[in-house]
Chain A
Amino acid sequence: AQSVTQPDIHITVSEGASLELRCNYSYGATPYLFWYVQSPGQGLQLLLKYFSGDTLVQGIKGFEAEFKRSQSSFNLRKPSVHWSDAAEYFCAVGANTGNQFYFGTGTSLTVIP
């Protein structure tokens, strides 16, 4: 069965430190992969997406993610975290056919000054 796992429910980092949020997926075919950010009370904002091609994807706000097929992973990274990055982050997988779209359970990021 298709699924998305975000192993870390909550992560705390210091401002200026690097960040990596983990995402693992289970999907039978080549997936479409997404990372979204959600601030409290707000909707989803797309950070980046991977469909094909270069496995290192650059997104908005200085985020990047790397697709590793051998590890079924699509981890999100940022070299230097800003206080405004504190939010909930969701990894998602979409199918290139049909309507399937699966969200991970989310990782809550706290940034301490």
Chain B
Amino acid sequence: GAVVSQHPSWVICKSGTSVKIECRSLDFQATTMFWYRQFPKQSLMLMATSNEGSKATYEQGVEKDKFLINHASLTLSTLTVTSAHPEDSSFYICSVRGGSGRVGEQFFGPGTRLTVL
């Protein structure tokens, strides 16, 4: 399977600032990546699907202007939380869709914990 990394693993920021989270596919060219958010004691909720070279597709209720996604290469997708507020504090996890024969599988990064003060 694919190895996925995220950076940073945790970040603390002040309210109103922007934070960028990187998701890298280390050994696999990923045309499609996904961004999830997980609140404490809850399951993962899909935020958006990131497609290399095109605009991301956002799930209903996710503000695309607040959560900016850029998938500029086959190995890197970034999520920028703009003008972060305390309610944006969460665990953000990215994933990579499997390749041929494994399209239905996703490989997950270790997650990034965002705390907004």
Interface residues of A (CB under 8 A from B): 31-32, 34, 36, 41-44, 46, 49, 51, 90, 94-99, 101, 103-106, 108
Contact = CB atoms under 8 A, between A and B. Distances in A.
B43 A44 contact: no
Contacts of A94: 104-106
A27 B32 CA distance: 22
Max chain B C-beta neighbours (<10 A), residue from A31, A32, A41, A99: A99
Contacts, number: 52
Contacts of B111: 42-44
- Chain B contact residues (Cβ within 8 angstroms of A): what range? 20 to 34
Interface of B: 1, 32, 34, 41-44, 46, 49, 93, 95, 97, 102-106, 108-111, 113
Contacts of A108: 41
A40 to B, nearest CB: 10
A48 B77 CA distance: 26
Nearest to A29: B104
Contacts of A43: 93, 108-111
A99 B110 contact: no
B43 A99 contact: no
9 contacts: A41-B113, A42-B111, A43-B93, A44-B111, A51-B102, A96-B103, A101-B106, A103-B43, A106-B43
